[in-house]
Structure formats: C-alpha cells, structure tokens
C-alpha cells in the first residue's frame, strides 16, 4: 500500500485547506470505491443544499485538524 499522507504539516493555511479538501475526497473514495457509482450519485447531491453544506462541514473539520497540527501557522517564539 502506498503512503499518500506522510504528514499533516503544510507551509501555509491555503495548502492546509487544500489538504483538508483532499482528506474529504479520499474519505469518499474509500467509502465508495466504485468510481462509476460515485459518478452516478454526483448529480443527486450536486443540487442538494443539505448535502453540500454537510460536505463543507466535513472539510471544515479536516481543516481544523490540519490547522491544529500546524500550530495554526503561528511561530512558537
């Protein structure tokens, strides 16, 4: 198995947010590994505001984790 997540450390908050989005995407792929099924379901949730808000909440949770791992990008000095 390939290691795809060697660290939660990022140089900037923007990179941290991009990592949070990737974490959410990988979780979906692990939950539903069949790309054809994911593609078929996408139009259903793409117009569902509750599903989109829930997706945003998942990314926000991942971002909070990444931010904490990075000391909120503050110097410890």
pLDDT, one tens digit for every residue, the chain (77 residues): 678 899 999 999 999 999 999 999 999 999 999 999 999 999 999 999 999 999 999 999 999 999 999 999 987 54
CB 59 within 8 A of CB 21: yes
Looking at residue 74, its pLDDT comes to 82
Q: Residue 54: name the closest of 35, 27, 16 by CA.
A: 27
Percentages (nearest 5) of helix, strand, coil residues in the chain: 70, 0, 30
CA dist 17 and 55 (Å) reads 14
């Amino acid at each position: 198995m390939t290691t795809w997540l060697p660290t939660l450390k990022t140089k900037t908050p923007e990179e941290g947010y991009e990592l949070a989005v990737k974490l959410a995407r990988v979780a979906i792929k692990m939950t539903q590994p069949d790309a054809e099924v994911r593609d078929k379901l996408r139009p259903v949730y793409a117009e569902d505001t509750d599903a989109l808000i829930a997706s945003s909440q998942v990314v926000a949770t991942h971002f909070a984790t990444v931010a904490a791992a990075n000391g909120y990008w503050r110097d410890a000095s």
